[in-house]
Amino acid sequence: MQPTWTYKNYEIKEGLKPGSKDFRYFYKILKNGEKKCNYCVWVVDDALARFDPSKDFNAIVASRKAAWHQWVKEKIDSNDFRNLALKLEKEGQQEINLSDLSDHITPE
Protein backbone atom coordinates (compact mmCIF):
# COMPACT_ATOMS: atom_id res chain seq x y z
CA MET A 1 0.00 0.00 0.00
CA GLN A 2 1.34 3.40 -0.97
CA PRO A 3 1.45 5.99 1.79
CA THR A 4 -1.03 8.75 1.02
CA TRP A 5 -1.27 12.28 2.39
CA THR A 6 -2.97 15.51 1.47
CA TYR A 7 -1.75 19.03 0.91
CA LYS A 8 -4.21 21.82 0.16
CA ASN A 9 -6.75 20.19 -2.20
CA TYR A 10 -4.34 17.56 -3.51
CA GLU A 11 -3.91 13.90 -2.66
CA ILE A 12 -0.33 12.66 -2.82
CA LYS A 13 0.53 8.98 -3.15
CA GLU A 14 4.17 8.12 -2.69
CA GLY A 15 6.51 5.18 -2.84
CA LEU A 16 9.52 3.52 -4.38
CA LYS A 17 9.14 2.28 -7.93
CA PRO A 18 8.15 -1.38 -7.49
CA GLY A 19 10.84 -3.88 -8.38
CA SER A 20 13.37 -1.28 -9.48
CA LYS A 21 17.09 -1.82 -8.87
CA ASP A 22 17.54 1.96 -9.21
CA PHE A 23 16.42 4.48 -6.62
CA ARG A 24 13.26 6.13 -7.93
CA TYR A 25 10.82 7.53 -5.36
CA PHE A 26 7.58 8.76 -6.87
CA TYR A 27 4.92 11.21 -5.80
CA LYS A 28 1.67 10.91 -7.73
CA ILE A 29 -0.31 14.14 -7.44
CA LEU A 30 -4.09 13.88 -7.75
CA LYS A 31 -6.88 16.42 -7.55
CA ASN A 32 -10.46 15.19 -7.26
CA GLY A 33 -9.22 11.69 -8.10
CA GLU A 34 -7.59 12.77 -11.38
CA LYS A 35 -3.84 12.67 -11.90
CA LYS A 36 -2.20 16.09 -12.23
CA CYS A 37 1.42 14.94 -12.52
CA ASN A 38 4.22 12.78 -11.15
CA TYR A 39 7.22 14.02 -9.24
CA CYS A 40 10.20 11.73 -8.80
CA VAL A 41 13.25 11.76 -6.58
CA TRP A 42 15.98 9.97 -8.51
CA VAL A 43 19.20 9.10 -6.71
CA VAL A 44 21.81 7.98 -9.22
CA ASP A 45 23.69 4.80 -8.31
CA ASP A 46 27.04 6.42 -7.58
CA ALA A 47 25.39 8.87 -5.16
CA LEU A 48 23.51 6.33 -3.01
CA ALA A 49 26.31 6.10 -0.44
CA ARG A 50 26.07 9.89 0.03
CA PHE A 51 22.67 9.31 1.65
CA ASP A 52 23.25 5.95 3.36
CA PRO A 53 26.59 4.05 3.56
CA SER A 54 24.81 0.71 3.13
CA LYS A 55 22.81 2.09 0.16
CA ASP A 56 19.60 0.93 1.82
CA PHE A 57 16.65 2.43 -0.08
CA ASN A 58 14.32 2.46 2.95
CA ALA A 59 16.93 4.19 5.12
CA ILE A 60 17.43 6.82 2.44
CA VAL A 61 13.68 7.46 2.25
CA ALA A 62 13.40 7.70 6.05
CA SER A 63 16.25 10.20 6.30
CA ARG A 64 15.13 12.48 3.45
CA LYS A 65 11.32 12.23 3.44
CA ALA A 66 10.69 15.57 5.18
CA ALA A 67 12.89 17.46 2.70
CA TRP A 68 11.24 15.75 -0.27
CA HIS A 69 7.75 16.51 1.07
CA GLN A 70 8.80 20.16 1.25
CA TRP A 71 9.94 20.02 -2.39
CA VAL A 72 6.55 18.57 -3.41
CA LYS A 73 4.70 21.28 -1.47
CA GLU A 74 6.78 24.01 -3.12
CA LYS A 75 5.94 22.61 -6.57
CA ILE A 76 2.22 22.55 -5.72
CA ASP A 77 2.39 26.07 -4.23
CA SER A 78 3.95 27.37 -7.45
CA ASN A 79 1.36 25.53 -9.62
CA ASP A 80 4.17 23.59 -11.29
CA PHE A 81 2.43 20.43 -12.43
CA ARG A 82 5.00 19.26 -14.96
CA ASN A 83 6.26 15.71 -14.58
CA LEU A 84 9.53 16.44 -12.78
CA ALA A 85 12.45 14.59 -11.28
CA LEU A 86 14.76 15.84 -8.58
CA LYS A 87 17.95 14.10 -9.70
CA LEU A 88 20.44 13.67 -6.86
CA GLU A 89 24.02 13.10 -7.91
CA LYS A 90 27.37 12.93 -6.11
CA GLU A 91 28.13 16.57 -6.83
CA GLY A 92 24.67 17.99 -6.16
CA GLN A 93 21.17 17.98 -7.52
CA GLN A 94 19.18 19.23 -10.47
CA GLU A 95 15.54 19.37 -11.40
CA ILE A 96 14.69 17.88 -14.77
CA ASN A 97 11.52 17.72 -16.81
CA LEU A 98 10.74 14.03 -17.31
CA SER A 99 9.18 14.76 -20.70
CA ASP A 100 12.60 15.94 -21.94
CA LEU A 101 14.25 12.57 -21.27
CA SER A 102 14.54 10.13 -24.13
CA ASP A 103 14.36 7.27 -21.62
CA HIS A 104 11.26 8.22 -19.62
CA ILE A 105 11.14 7.37 -15.95
CA THR A 106 7.71 6.03 -15.09
CA PRO A 107 6.22 5.13 -11.72
CA GLU A 108 4.95 1.73 -12.96
Reported as a single tens digit per residue, the pLDDT across 45-100 is: 999 999 999 999 999 999 999 999 999 999 999 999 999 999 999 999 999 998 87
The per-residue pLDDT for 108 is 54
- Torsion, Cα of 99, 36, 73, 79 (10° steps): 80
Residue 105 forms part of a structural domain: no
Count CB neighbours of 44 within 10 A. Answer: 13
Lowest mean pLDDT among 18-22, 38-42, 60-64, 80-84: 18-22
Q: Parallel, antiparallel, or unpaired for β 34-43 and 4-7? A: unpaired
95 touches 82 (CB < 8 A): no
Q: What's the pLDDT band for 18 if we cut at 50, 70, 90?
A: confident
Could you give the number of structural domains in the chain? 1
For residue 107, tell me if it sits in a domain: no
Any domain includes 46: yes
Do the domain assignments include residue 106? Answer: no
Is the whole-model pTM more than 0.85?
yes
Q: 60-64 long-range CB contacts below 8 Å, 24 or more apart? A: 60/23, 61/16, 61/25
The domain of 40 spans 4-100
